[in-house]
Amino acid sequence: HRPVGQRQRAVGPRATSARAGADARQSRPAPSRDRRRSDWPGRIARTAYEHLGDRRGIASVLTNQGNIEWQSGNLTAAFTTHEEARVLYQQAGDTRGMAWSDTNTGRIAAEQGHFHEAVPRLNAALDIYVAVGDISGVAEIMEAIALVTLELGDADRSSMLAGAATALRDSINSSRNSPDLEAFQAVLDALESRADHDHATAFAQGRSMSLEDALTLVRSVETPPAPEAPDAPDHQRLARAEFGITDREHEVLLLICDGLADGEIAERLGIGLRTVHTHVHQLVVKLDAASRVAVIRSAHQAKIVPAR
């Protein structure tokens, strides 16, 4: 089964649907007053799973931790925690867990407005859900992409995807949980309120689509280009893309090159030490390096970081 609270947050529309975004934000639970006390069961469980070497168990604890961070509004921490969970799910050979993590990081990225990261992650989750026949998961991805397309100004596609997702849920009697339902309804309200858009017709068209046509529609959403960092030279951006280094991994890499230890990096970025370890491991793999020193050397040779 999915870890507790696996799907308790929805992407909150931001600019093009201010009312929907406001309604979605109202459904966010208040942060715990005593975070340390509320986390102690998870910390105990994680320690036990680590002792047993149970990667999937550790990943499930991280998934729950990421959801707590998400619900508390700490999106950056939630994103990195779910990323760490995905690595462990992959190591454990748990494809469903990988899909859950891709869904969560995709939705968090969309909530942050990082649509260039959201779309490919959501599509990766979609591929797994389709492969394992998880119709509820497919519907959730369609809803998430509907929210993204609304933000990107494609109201017609957003309404059709919302209709297709609703039809899928109806076909298997799958209901949305309370926060997701409120956020999804807020998006429908935003679509219905647009004077330049015939939401009812587009929604009905989506509801009448076959699963194959609906999948074609959701996969036709193009990944928006990533915003270019004004202070990053072109050759650095190209080198990062070539090695598949993410924004967060690049932040960690820069701090490694500055001589910071993992604990110092965790403190500087406001993330967990184990999360830093995961990013360092990913850098070692992606740069085909045998050590931390080799990571620095390879990064400079590939011109991923500024010259010393």
**DSSP per-residue letters across 194-210:** -TT--HHHHHHHHHT--
pLDDT at 292: 80
Pair 213, 242 in one domain? no
Q: What DSSP string describes 69-107?
A: HHHTT-HHHHHHHHHHHHHHHHHTT-HHHHHHHHHHHHH
The vertex-168 CA angle with 208 and 116, nearest 5°, equals 95
pLDDT at 49: 80
Is the distance from CB of 221 to CB of 119 less than 8 angstroms? Answer: yes
CATH number of the CATH domain containing 119: 1.25.40.10
Pair 137, 215 in one domain? yes
Distance between CA atoms of 84 and 86, rounded to whole angstroms?
A: 5
CATH number of the CATH domain containing 263: 1.10.10.10
Is the distance from CB of 191 to CB of 158 less than 8 angstroms? Answer: yes
Pair 65, 151 in one domain? yes
Q: Chain centroid to CA 107: how far?
A: 5
Pair 245, 195 in one domain? no
- Which of 13, 11, 18 has its CA nearest to residue 151? 13
Task: Render pLDDT for 56-100 as a digit per residue (tens, 0 to 9).
Answer: 999 999 999 899 888 888 888 888 889 889 988 998 999 999 999
Model confidence at 165: pLDDT above 60: yes
pLDDT at 76: 80
pTM for the whole structure: 0.66
Pair 249, 125 in one domain? no
Distance between CA atoms of 158 and 154, rounded to whole angstroms?
A: 6
> Torsions phi, psi of 266, nearest 5?
-60, -45
Is the distance from CB of 184 to CB of 257 less than 8 angstroms? Answer: no
Pair 129, 42 in one domain? yes
DSSP label of 233: -
Burial class (CB in 10 A: 0-12, 13-18, 19+), 149: buried
Counting the structural domains of the chain, the total is 2
Give the E-state strand segments of 145-294 in sequence order: none
pLDDT at 199: 94
Task: Render pLDDT for 16-40 as a digit per residue (tens, 0 to 9).
Answer: 333 333 333 233 333 333 444 456 6
The C-alpha torsion from 182 through 105 and 80 to 134, rounded to 10°, is: 100
Q: Is 164 within the bounds of a domain?
A: yes
Give the range of the structural domain holding residue 129, as residue numbers without chain letter: 18-219
Pair 202, 65 in one domain? yes
Q: Is 228 within the bounds of a domain?
A: no
Pair 103, 246 in one domain? no
pLDDT band at 146; cut points 50, 70, 90:
very high
- Which of 70, 73, 94, 95 has its CA nearest to residue 8? 70
Pair 92, 202 in one domain? yes
Q: Is 143 within the bounds of a domain?
A: yes
pLDDT band at 8; cut points 50, 70, 90:
very low
Task: State how far the alpha carbon of 18 is from the alpha carbons of 72, 156, 186, 224, in Å.
Answer: 21, 18, 10, 21
Mean pLDDT of the chain: 81
pLDDT at 39: 62
Q: What DSSP string describes 159-174?
A: HHHHHHHHHHHHHTTP
Torsion sign over Cα 101, 103, 106, 112: negative
- Which of 109, 96, 110 has its CA nearest to residue 138? 96
Task: Render pLDDT for 205-220 as a digit per residue (tens, 0 to 9).
Answer: 999 999 999 999 999 9
The last residue of one of the domains, among 190, 219, 248, is 219
> Torsions phi, psi of 92, nearest 5?
-85, -5
Q: Is 2 within the bounds of a domain?
A: no
